[in-house]
Structure 1
């Protein structure tokens, strides 16, 4: 489950925002839990609640494994590939534009990509 995929640095995020005047943050609903764990790696997440209570394994990425953030970043970079106005930082999608009109179009494109990937957003934590 280790993954050396790099996370963006705060300076990179600021550089990408550059000349934008409109931005939104979209919160992925329980972000990591939307990332399936490969069946061969599930045993690495095994835990027991106590004697006689059985052994459990995660099927979706829990918070905590060292490769979680990198694996999630890789997934989201793949989902958002080709959209220069969007990027992900941990479990937040940043959408940035030069004006309101283009921002509405950009948001629609990001929403379509998330839907096509089977990802859900938490509306109450999104800032549009």
Structure 2
């Protein structure tokens, strides 16, 4: 099991509509989709950068952990995401066998029905890395 490709780079934003004025209107990146993940209280907007997406992550509730990060650091780069064959296999077998624990014991629901999980940044040179795959049947 290996990482297949860079899927997206995520930026935490205070207001997606304001951020789109730069990324869509000035830089010309087309919006691929925008989706609210109700269970995570975030709005995710993906913009097409060619080989990967730029993901804008907007927390939707005041007590969201990303609101604290916005208050402390402002808008910022949040994580890189790599596409893999199976998030379940990665977090259950592959990563533990390499001594790299996942933050998530089970896959999370991601946009467009995908599965996702985050790797503990203590093991990735303090960089938050997400993995994603299509939902397994």
TM-score with structure 2 length normalisation?
Answer: 0.26
Structure richer in helix, relative to its length: 1
Higher relative contact order (CA 8 A, sep 6+): 1
TM-score with structure 1 length normalisation?
Answer: 0.27
Structure richer in strand, relative to its length: 2
